[in-house]
Structure 1
Amino acid sequence: MSLVALPPALRALHKALTVHDFQKSSELYNTLLDDADQPPVADQHVTNLANIFVKYNAHEVLGIHLIHGHFKIPSNAVMLGTNFDESAIRWAKATNIDSLNAADIHGHIFVLAENGLCAYEYQDGPLPDLSSVGQGFLGKFVEYIVNNNLTSLIGLQVLGCGHKQSTMFELILDQGTVMLDASIAKNIVPTRVTGWQFESVDGNPRVCAHNETHAGMTSGNHKVYNAGKPLPKLENIEQLKDALADVGLL
């Protein structure tokens, strides 16, 4: 997709990524609060933002996300997510900046920083087509979160092509996270909503069922693998799935 086809306000999401961007993202991630330390997101704010997203036709490709992190990552790494099994599993892990191909990844979750939108998590693959998003959307979104003191609480999330409006549970790994579709997850207890999608029903905005939820295991653990125990070898998706099955999550 050509940059020329994009509404000007959305070019910040589609700009060519540089090492400087990745370094800023790494620094930003290490300043984030854990979701347990973030205050509640008022339902009224979610509803008001749904109105903005639908009004500007942004709801098909963009959503909102609770700004949070779970651990400190190395200074030469960023969080990069990859989808597997038709998006039923999303594995995000700290990835060395030197190994990244900037042409094959895009910003996934953005926070409003001093110099504009900054991604603190990335996703592999091309950015979805944003050309249908109405002019002025990003300005209205930023205006709302600034005026309501939400800049450290609510971020902008790129949903991706073919996103599913189904519940995903997020669990913490060592230097990474995994999101499991509710249809395949086992022995998981939801703890906090972290992501929201919106839809238009007969022209009216509606908040979808919670699409991303931080979760813990029924054993009471929030991390899948606790400190002090040998960590499984997680070099590919098959090893990850085997490891999750071993602890009863798949």
Structure 2
Amino acid sequence: MATAVLSPMAIPGLHTPPSRKDLEKAALAYNLLPDDKDQPEISPVHLEEIKKIIVSHDVQEKFGIHVVHGHLLVDQGKVMHGTAMTRLRGCWTRPTDISGLDVGNIHGHIFALSPNGQFQAYEYRQEGPPPMSPNDNAFVAALKAYLQNHGLGSLIGLQVLNEDKDKQLQEFVLGDNNGAVMLDAEDTRITESCRVTGYVVIKTEESGVTELKGNETHTPTIRQTHQVFTDGKPLPDEKSLMDALRADGVID
């Protein structure tokens, strides 16, 4: 295991709670992201090398990687923030008023390298930042160096994992006002996937081989589009979200 001791990098949302200014920067960064369909596939060579970095630092339970992308434009004063669902196993990430967030109780979920070469969160989730050890900092520095050395900063981001790490997850876009929802694949009616967007390190039971495997995918609805039809209107609550998912054949 790598154990190099580095000075804390003080990345907002990872080492420290974000400020309102940090969240405003996150929204601006999100608005500049390409759609996933405009991003190339990650080379198997890079996936293998990044897997080695993750495993050598023994952070596979804490960090993964993600294809850097966005789906919509976030209005001023809002940030992409995900909350756990109560009616299904999943997370609903949507533009959320910054003024209504408890900034001390959220953390960065997906980070991309900014033009100045620092990791910056562009999506946040509930709960405060995770404890960061010197070894965690060494991993973040090693991943950053690899991405910079290979010109991958606009393609591959750092992802903070949660309890869904070992599940197969499917993402459905809900439109400009409603963000996107990530669901446990076991709870949906959809079996087809169109793009892997998140990768985690797992050890296969059969062979014991460690792999960097896709666990998050973009998935088409029965209309063969990645976006759930919502009429462009804001969904006020989870019940209305469930109704939209059911109408598009995503869930029973």
**What's the TM-score, normalizing by structure 2?**
0.86
* Distance in structure 2 (CA, Å) of the matches to 1:179 and 1:234: 16
- Counterpart position of 2:121: 119
Instruction: Give the CA deviation at 1:199.
Output: 3.2
- Counterpart position of 2:47: 46
Q: Which amino acid aligns with 1:187?
A: I
Q: Which amino acid aligns with 1:15?
A: T
Matched, 1:182 2:181: no
* Distance in structure 2 (CA, Å) of the matches to 1:39 and 1:210: 15
**Residue 199 to residue 133, structure 1, CA distance change in 2 (3 Å):** farther
- Counterpart position of 2:227: 223
CA contact (8 A) 2:190 2:219 kept: no
Q: Which amino acid aligns with 2:189?
A: K
* Distance in structure 1 (CA, Å) of the matches to 2:9 and 2:19: 18
Please list the CA deviations of residues 16-35 of structure 1 after superposition, one character each: whole Å capped at 9, or x if unmatched. Answer: 31111011111100000000
* Distance in structure 2 (CA, Å) of the matches to 1:116 and 1:25: 13
* Distance in structure 2 (CA, Å) of the matches to 1:135 and 1:171: 32
Matched, 1:214 2:218: yes
* Distance in structure 1 (CA, Å) of the matches to 2:57 and 2:88: 26
Say which SS state the counterpart of residue 234 (structure 1) adopts: coil
Say which SS state the counterpart of residue 210 (structure 1) adopts: strand
* Distance in structure 1 (CA, Å) of the matches to 2:133 and 2:55: 15
Say which SS state the counterpart of residue 189 (structure 1) adopts: coil
* Distance in structure 1 (CA, Å) of the matches to 2:58 and 2:194: 30
Matched, 1:147 2:140: no
Instruction: Give the CA deviation at 1:245.
Output: 1.9
Say which SS state the counterpart of residue 218 (structure 1) adopts: coil
Q: Which moved more, 1:99-108 or 1:214-223?
A: 214-223
| Percent identical | 33
CA contact (8 A) 2:229 2:248 kept: no
* Distance in structure 2 (CA, Å) of the matches to 1:135 and 1:157: 14
- Counterpart position of 2:7: 8
Matched, 1:34 2:35: yes
Structure 2: where are the runs of 5+ without partners? none
- Counterpart position of 2:248: 247
**Residue 63 to residue 10, structure 1, CA distance change in 2 (3 Å):** farther
**What is the number of residues matched between the two proteins?**
240
Q: Which amino acid aligns with 2:195?
A: R
CA contact (8 A) 2:174 2:228 kept: yes
CA contact (8 A) 1:104 1:126 kept: yes
CA contact (8 A) 1:80 1:123 kept: yes
Structure 1: where are the runs of 5+ without partners? 1-5
* Distance in structure 1 (CA, Å) of the matches to 2:236 and 2:216: 25
CA contact (8 A) 1:197 1:210 kept: yes
Say which SS state the counterpart of residue 45 (structure 1) adopts: helix
Instruction: Give the CA deviation at 1:188.
Output: 5.3
Instruction: Give the CA deviation at 1:39.
Output: 1.1
* Distance in structure 2 (CA, Å) of the matches to 1:88 and 1:208: 23
CA contact (8 A) 1:167 1:209 kept: no
Say which SS state the counterpart of residue 36 (structure 1) adopts: helix
Matched, 1:165 2:166: yes
Please list the CA deviations of residues 129-178 of structure 1 after superposition, one character each: whole Å capped at 9, or x if unmatched. Answer: 44384552122111100111100000000002x33312111110023000
**Residue 135 to residue 118, structure 1, CA distance change in 2 (3 Å):** closer
- Counterpart position of 1:73: 74
Say which SS state the counterpart of residue 186 (structure 2) adopts: coil
Q: Which amino acid aligns with 2:118?
A: G
CA contact (8 A) 1:105 1:124 kept: yes
* Distance in structure 2 (CA, Å) of the matches to 1:129 and 1:84: 25
* Distance in structure 1 (CA, Å) of the matches to 2:209 and 2:63: 14
